[in-house]
Chains A and B, each alone.
Chain A
Amino acid sequence: MDDMDFIELDGVEKVFDVRRKTGFMRRERREVRAVDGISFRVPRGEMVGYIGPNGAGKSTTIKMLTGILTPSGGRLRVAGIDPSRERTKLAHRIGVVFGQRTTLWWDLPLRDSYRLMHRMYRIPDSRYRENLDRCVELLDLGALLEVPVRQLSLGQRMRGDIAAALLHDPEVLYLDEPTIGLDVISKAKVREFLRDLNAERSTTVLLTTHDLTDIEQLCKRVMVIDHGRLVYDGALAGLHEVGESERTLVVDLERELPPIELGSEPSVRVVKVEGPRQWLAFPASASAAPLVARIAAGYPLVDLSVREPDIESVIAKMYVSDPAL
């Protein structure tokens, strides 16, 4: 294994046999290819976004990378280790955060969960103290260490979970929806921490998310998976181009008016009018500023906001623009 092939997947497949009840005793068997021949490489120290609609195979891939699930076919290595064969050996080298499932102890102070990690992973005392101090400082956990986990907010708990996954110095960190349900401030804190972690420790990070802002702010590279196949692997900007995705400008006018017309701007169109409020779609790659200026010049503008495209619509557009995918 060299550092360029830190995570290696070659034609990895995962096929599930789904049994469905069709009668009292009769069952129907159906093969579901959750992951259908995925290949990619992640070099050490890279931060990659792994996105796709629900049921696309994201979690299945993460579960194979952590050794929870055994692949049905293909070759897979993390740090030179076959995860499903040497799951417990790999466990010392990876950190996993499942956004929806905490590993913290509900009724005990946060610090107790960390002590368990300390002993379970046999982390040397000095290393443990150093890592804990660092996480406490950067994730702002100082005031929370003696608080029972059940009293923490969702954002605080997520920060606590991320710290728990990093105490044993993992070389890879898998994050499954790390910002789901968090408020804006917590999201910003988590992102800042991950950026620092990646920059200072060269920890390889693979994260799944529904929030394109996570990717925008953290990952130079994004992989899109759909129906078990990798449909895009490259920069986020490129994803917008491929998908010809559009952002939406929501405009509140002083009063009800006919749809805004900007004759010289064919790529901008009004998609919806509701009383004094109008929705305008424009290419995601274009800047909103000149558009806003022109509307303000010609119309009685009260308020406005810009909406980013969501992953689902970007992916949907990819299909429309390239049916071969």
Chain B
Amino acid sequence: MAEIQAERTAAPPPVVFSERSRLVEGVRAYGLIVAMWLRSTMAYRASFVMTTVGNFVSTAFDFVTIMLMFAHVDVLGGFTLPEVALLYGTSATAFGLADLVLGSMDRLGRRVRDGTLDTLLVRPVPVLAQVAADRFALRRLGRITQGLLVLGYALVTLDIAWTPVKVLMLPMMVLSGAAIFGAVFVVGAAFQFYAQDASEVQNAFTYGGTTMLQYPPTVFAKDLVRGVTFVVPLAFVSWLPALYVLGRDYPLDLPRWVAGLPPVVAAGCWVLAGLAWRVGLRSYRSTGS
């Protein structure tokens, strides 16, 4: 008995950790979890190669559809094939990036249903980062590859009078576009705290949105164009900056300078997305369902 008493030691003091900004903590945690998923994926190397190729092929069919259309007509809504390819390439690449980084967030609904979200809530890192990194799938590079190929084809075939602004416009629109789509993913995920099967609604805006942006705005009804400009600002992903690069008219008689707005719109979207996420998580923690 005396021996046991002697062996009994006080619990060691808690691990000291410095308070870091939540953003830094979140990005770090995201990286850690993504690394785990990459290792998990590599446990099934053959399956990874197959799904990446499959992902590339299935998204490539989108563009094949457009090419088939152009086998019968020379212009679509006043746009030639290379011009449509520019719209397609920027939108597909932007969406591909967002899908790679945040695309698995629609699994949140399932985690809420089966209660596994609780295991994320007891860890010392932001939940948003953990949910965003959940089931990270490198196979989504297939979509980005395909988008970049189409974009490359457009840039080679198009005869554009390049200016420094137009050159800068390309990376700006792809990155801001990815950020806008990303914000939509986060809002969609936040909505799943309330309705666990809401991922279809979100898909309408993300997958549906990217398909729409791959066509020129002139083929759509005015109200729809108005909706994706002012309500869900997807028009800023590719339409407006791409039309600027092409030197074409904007829909809705918007002024020329709106082509420079995507970074501002993206920042605004992220503020809203962050708020939506906080409200959603708070609601989950007060209802637990």
A105 at the interface (CB under 8 A from B): yes
Q: Which single residue of chain B is at the shortest CB-CB distance from A103?
A: B119
Flag the segment in B1-9, B68-76, B161-169 that touches A: B1-9
A107 near B11: Cβ-Cβ < 8 Å: no
The residue in chain A whose Cβ has the minimal distance to the Cβ of B289 is: A16
Residue of A nearest to B39 (CB): A108
Of the listed stretches A20-28, A64-72, A139-147, A299-307, chain B binds A64-72
Interface string of A304-323 (1 = CB under 8 A from B): 00000000000000000000
Is A87 located at the chain interface by the 8 A CB criterion?
Answer: yes
CA separation between A67 and B44, bound complex, in Å? 36
A209 within 8 A of B: no
Inter-chain contact B15/A67, CB cutoff 8 Å:
no
Is A121 an interface residue, CB under 8 A from the partner? Answer: yes
The size bracket of the interface on B is 20 to 34
Residue of A nearest to B114 (CB): A101
Q: B14 at the A/B interface (Cβ < 8 Å)?
A: yes
Q: Which of B11, B115, B121 contacts A201 (CB 8 A)?
A: B11
What are the interface flags for B94-125 relative to A under an 8 Å C-beta threshold, 1 for contact and 0 otherwise? Answer: 00000000000000000000011011011111
Q: Report A-chain residues with C-beta under 8 Å of the C-beta of B12.
A: 127, 169, 201
B286's partner among A69, A106, A107 (CB-CB below 8 A) is A69
Q: Is B224 an interface residue (CB 8 A)?
A: no
A98 vs B116: C-alpha distance in the bound complex, in angstroms? 9
Q: Which residues of A lie under 8 Å from residue B44 when comparing CB positions?
A: 107
Q: Is B17 on the interface with A (CB-CB < 8 A)?
A: yes
Interface string of A72-108 (1 = CB under 8 A from B): 1000000000001001110111101010010101111
Whether B160 sits at the interface, judged by CB under 8 Å, is: no
Instruction: Judge whether B15 and A92 touch: CB under 8 Å.
Output: yes
Do A120 and B123 contact each other (CB < 8 Å), given the known contacts A107-B43, A148-B43? yes
Q: In the complex, which residues of chain A have a beta carbon less than 8 angstroms from the beta carbon of B248?
A: none
Pairwise interchain contact A203-B121, C-beta atoms closer than 8 A? no
Q: How large is the interface on A (under 10, 10 to 19, 20 to 34, 35 or more residues)?
A: 35 or more
Closest to B44 in A: A107
Query: Is the pair A88, B124 in contact by a Cβ cutoff of 8 Å?
Result: yes
A229 interface contact, C-beta 8 A = no
Q: Kindly identify which residue among A63, A120, A127 contacts B124, using a CB–CB cutoff of 8 Å.
A: A120
B122 touches A68 (CB 8 A): yes
In the complex, are the beta carbons of B8 and A68 less than 8 A apart? no
CB of A92 within 8 A of CB of B14, answer yes
* Bound-state Cα–Cα, A51 to B74, Å: 74
User: Chain A residues near B288 (CB, 8 Å)?
Assistant: 16, 60, 63, 68-69
Q: Which residues of B are in contact with A by a Cβ distance under 8 Å? A: 4, 7-12, 14-15, 17, 29, 32-33, 36, 39-40, 43-44, 115-116, 118-119, 121-126, 282, 285-289
Q: List 17 A-B contacts (CB under 8 A).
A: A66-B122, A67-B122, A68-B121, A68-B285, A98-B118, A101-B119, A108-B36, A116-B32, A119-B32, A120-B124, A121-B123, A127-B15, A169-B14, A171-B14, A199-B4, A201-B12, A203-B11
Give the B-binding residues of A (Cβ under 8 A): 16-17, 60, 63, 66-70, 72, 84, 87-89, 91-94, 96, 98, 101, 103, 105-108, 112, 116, 119-124, 127, 148, 168-169, 171, 199-203
Starting from the known contacts A107-B43, A116-B33, A169-B11, 16 additional A-B residue pairs (CB-CB under 8 Å) come to: A68-B118, A68-B122, A72-B286, A87-B121, A92-B15, A101-B119, A105-B36, A105-B40, A106-B40, A108-B40, A116-B32, A120-B124, A199-B4, A199-B8, A200-B7, A200-B9
Closest 10 CB pairs of A and B: A91-B124, A107-B40, A96-B122, A68-B121, A107-B43, A88-B124, A70-B285, A66-B122, A202-B11, A70-B286
